[in-house]
Structure 1
Amino acid sequence: MDYNVFLLRLGLDPSQFINRLNEPIKTEDGWLYEVEQKSEGYHCPFCRHDVLYIHDYNTVKINCRETQLINDVLKIRKVRLRCKKCRKTFTPPLRGIERKNTVSNQTLQLIYSEFTEGLTFAAIAKKYGITTARVMQIFDDKVKFVPRRPLPEVLCIDEIRFSKNKDQQFVCILYDFHGKEIVDVIRNRQMPYLREYFSEINPIERNKVKFIISDMYDGYATIARYYFKNAVHIVDTFHVIRLLTTALNQIRVRTMNLKAIKGSPEYNFMKKNWRFFLTRPHLIPDKYYTYQKTGEMFHYDKLLRMCLALNDDLLTGYNILQDLFRYDMRFTFDEALRFIERISLNLRDAHSELLHAVGRSYHKWRVEIASAFSYTQNKIRYSNAIAESINNQIKTITKAAYGYNNFERFRKRVMLIITYKKRPGI
């Protein structure tokens, strides 16, 4: 490639250089271009005198890599001049190359574009032939600040594990239900951080939020009550059902160990097919279980009923779970509220303390759960499914990078990849 074409492609002015060789040198994975900086046409930056002479030369290599396969390098013999009047030395700047920079502006632009993709810093470094630390430095220098998005009409709140440090174990993430993007990432889900964050948002903007969707964390209820007084707080149905399935699974284990004979059909079925106790009846396969000791065959549905008969609390919890699976039959808020109050009462009437705890939680959150089970005026039933989907993307980003120690870098990266990838120009 011609020198002038190569320099122009890098955004450099060819008039600043003198070609040292007639042709570039072919290397193992690219080309080496050697040029020399011109020594005429400069003024002393200290006294503005124009009588200068060459003091010495300094050679630098500029990384011009565009892909992982082709590694082009620009070798510049930079001149250092001395002023005849003030006797001070200086190196004239090169237009298109920042001082002390070893990466061309064109390569920098390509690296900038990678920050909104899913590549890790290490993968970007390998692709462009620089160190991972250099990529992180470029990222921090380029992306000084990533603004949050405006609060949406339907705001989802969830948390994700960030660090093993107890003071910053979970970060709080805000999502736009309709936009399917991240609104912002808050450093911690603890109340002091949440209060400080939401108190700084203009009340006019907060009042535009009509629905808040979260799990049953008390901090989110407090935030919804004090900072979003015009919004309806909804508890995600997934967390409502998971609270009961967790308790029911613990009761199954206790029943298996205390009331089932080890090695019996009931014991083996409860141990190997625990998922059938936590799912809908129509998902139980239509097949038979063969007891190896006697050769006796039991249908899966019959064997499930035999196991449930071993413990009244297990049967009660299972029947209530099936009622919850049919929550979509409730359309109005009043119907849903009566339904969850009945469920809560039945759980508190059971003998198991595990079911008591679930019943108390359902009673405490009955209004928010009823809002989740009922349809809104727009005939929409809201959930945190969008948040869970985006959480999977965040976990993929974090896992690929083997975790993040710097919260600000983590926040900026996930915001760029998930939210601002479709909004270039930040």
Structure 2
Amino acid sequence: MFGVSSTRIMEMFDTFVRVKRHSLPRVLLIDEFHFSRNSKYKYPAILMNFENNLIIDIVESRTHDIMSDYLFKIDLEERKKVEYICTDMSFIFKPLLKTYFPNSTLLVDHFHVTRLINDQLNHTRKRIMRKYVKNKKSREYRLLKHRYKILLKSKNNIDNETFKYDKIMECHVTENMILETLLSFDDELRQAYNAKEEYLIFDQVSKGEVNNSNKRKELDAVIKKFKHTHVEESISVAVTLEHRKEEILNSFIWINDRRISNEPCEGKNNYVKQILSNANGMSNFQRARNRILYSQNKYETYTMNEHTDRIKRIGNPRGAYKK
């Protein structure tokens, strides 16, 4: 339309837009997103400020060596200012954070804990479903295959009043009736589901409720509940909860009436996915980093001074053209 090729636009962007890392915040969020299956590192780490939703930086990979090298280059006095760090359930960051952030408290994002528990409940559901695989037309198999999302919902969000016609049940039922039917198929599924609900009750509390409760004692009871199910997937959850107990208990911290979590990162990750999708995928990490930071941070600017170093990668020489 303007007589400018997309290649020229990319060159102009690379020349004038180089976004610098922002200062580390008091509350630091660390998460990952999928970049490209064709790149050397498929999962970069995104660093965010919990209090103002600013993207601090994007690191090419969340692997131990790269993160360690990245953090080592940041001045110690700046790292000392970080008070809280929230990450997912990965064990990668724990040794790094103890080394590079001496004054910080490590938190596990409570949404990731819930996701882990739901994933394991789903594994239990699939294992039980395979018992009925020889008769795929059976009500048991079809309900376990097509109505499993009800198992993953919080009991508080299950509709117990609205009747709707269900093709598999062949009658008008409520969500709660479908849930009870699913749980009646196998005692392991019921126990795993009940343990999941116990954790949600423990986790879904207000700031005032936390101040008036003994969360450590409650978490110990939840872990015991998972262990006593005798369901292999739930026992695996119990082991993880035991290993990450301190970080889970630390997650009950509120800043400016908001519970610390990686939710802002999850929101930005959705925009990042859209940016990568609109570009039909990207393999140049430095260009992608600049583009994400420039578009997602409100007050990022460009410079009128040209950067002489190259971002565009030099590929293999083109072969002879064959007609």
Residue 234 in 1 paired to residue 80 in 2? no
Q: 1:317 — aligned with what?
A: 192
Mapped partners of 2:269, 2:195: distance in 1: 30
Q: For residue 264 of structure 2, give the secondary structure of its aligned residue in structure 1.
A: helix
Amino acid in the other structure paired with 1:249? N
Amino acid in the other structure paired with 1:276? I
More deviation, 247-256/393-402? 247-256
Q: Based on CA coordinates, which of the two structures has the bigger radius of gyration?
A: 1
Residue 402 in 1 paired to residue 275 in 2? no
Gaps of 5+ in 1: 1-67, 69-127
Query: 1:213-256 CA deviation, whole Å, 9 max, x = no partner?
Result: 11011112222221112111111111101111111112112223
Query: How far has the Cα of 1:131 moved from its partner?
Result: 1.4
Greater relative CO (CA pairs within 8 A, separation 6+) = 2
Residue 137 in 1 paired to residue 11 in 2? yes
Q: Cα distance 1:130–1:357, how it changes in 2: closer, same or farther (>3 A)?
A: same
Query: 1:79-129 CA deviation, whole Å, 9 max, x = no partner?
Result: xxxxxxxxxxxxxxxxxxxxxxxxxxxxxxxxxxxxxxxxxxxxxxxxx32
Mapped partners of 1:203, 1:132: distance in 2: 42
More deviation, 220-229/356-365? 220-229
Q: For residue 174 of structure 1, give the secondary structure of its aligned residue in structure 2.
A: strand
Q: 2:210 — aligned with what?
A: 331
User: After the TM superposition, which residues 368-407 of structure 1 pair with which residues of structure 2 at under 5 Å, given as runs?
Assistant: 368-372=247-251, 374-376=252-254, 380-407=258-285
> Residues 294 and 301 of structure 2 are in contact (CA less than 8 Å); yes or no, is this contact kept in structure 1?
no
What CA RMSD, in Å, does the superposition of the two structures yield over aligned residues? 2.5
User: After the TM superposition, which residues 281-292 of structure 1 pair with which residues of structure 2 at under 5 Å, given as runs?
Assistant: 281-285=155-159, 286-287=162-163
Residue 354 in 1 paired to residue 230 in 2? no
Amino acid in the other structure paired with 1:139? F
> Residues 332 and 375 of structure 1 are in contact (CA less than 8 Å); yes or no, is this contact kept in structure 2?
no
Mapped partners of 1:380, 1:130: distance in 2: 46
Residue 422 in 1 paired to residue 299 in 2? yes
Q: Cα distance 1:224–1:139, how it changes in 2: closer, same or farther (>3 A)?
A: same
Query: How far has the Cα of 1:393 moved from its partner?
Result: 1.1
Amino acid in the other structure paired with 2:215? A
Query: 1:128-159 CA deviation, whole Å, 9 max, x = no partner?
Result: 3211221122222223x321000011100011
Q: 1:269 — aligned with what?
A: 143
Mapped partners of 2:264, 2:192: distance in 1: 29
Query: How far has the Cα of 1:287 moved from its partner?
Result: 1.7
In terms of fraction of residues, the more strand-rich structure is 1
Mapped partners of 1:313, 1:163: distance in 2: 39
Q: 1:84 — aligned with what?
A: none
> Residues 331 and 375 of structure 1 are in contact (CA less than 8 Å); yes or no, is this contact kept in structure 2?
no
More deviation, 131-140/189-198? 131-140
29, 40, 56: which is aligned to 1:183? 56
Query: 1:239-294 CA deviation, whole Å, 9 max, x = no partner?
Result: 1011111111121122233169654444333222111101122433332556779x
State the TM-score, normalizing by the size of structure 1.
Answer: 0.64
Amino acid in the other structure paired with 2:32? E
273, 279, 284: which is aligned to 2:153? 279
> Residues 48 and 57 of structure 2 are in contact (CA less than 8 Å); yes or no, is this contact kept in structure 1?
yes
Mapped partners of 1:305, 1:219: distance in 2: 39
More deviation, 330-339/224-233? 330-339
Count of aligned pairs:
296
Mapped partners of 1:325, 1:129: distance in 2: 57
> Residues 333 and 370 of structure 1 are in contact (CA less than 8 Å); yes or no, is this contact kept in structure 2?
no
Query: How far has the Cα of 1:377 moved from its partner?
Result: 7.5
Q: For residue 218 of structure 1, give the secondary structure of its aligned residue in structure 2.
A: coil
Mapped partners of 1:354, 1:388: distance in 2: 26
Q: For residue 331 of structure 1, give the secondary structure of its aligned residue in structure 2.
A: helix
Mapped partners of 1:135, 1:291: distance in 2: 54
Query: 1:35-79 CA deviation, whole Å, 9 max, x = no partner?
Result: xxxxxxxxxxxxxxxxxxxxxxxxxxxxxxxxx4xxxxxxxxxxx
> Residues 139 and 168 of structure 2 are in contact (CA less than 8 Å); yes or no, is this contact kept in structure 1?
no
Mapped partners of 1:331, 1:292: distance in 2: 42
User: After the TM superposition, which residues 8-407 of structure 1 pair with which residues of structure 2 at under 5 Å, given as runs?
Assistant: 68=1, 128-143=2-17, 145-165=18-38, 167-258=40-131, 262-285=136-159, 286-287=162-163, 299-326=174-201, 327-329=203-205, 331-332=210-211, 335-372=214-251, 374-376=252-254, 380-407=258-285
Amino acid in the other structure paired with 1:424? T
Mapped partners of 1:408, 1:129: distance in 2: 26
Q: 2:314 — aligned with what?
A: none
Q: Cα distance 1:298–1:386, how it changes in 2: closer, same or farther (>3 A)?
A: closer
Query: How far has the Cα of 1:355 moved from its partner?
Result: 1.5
Q: 2:317 — aligned with what?
A: none
Gaps of 5+ in 2: 304-323
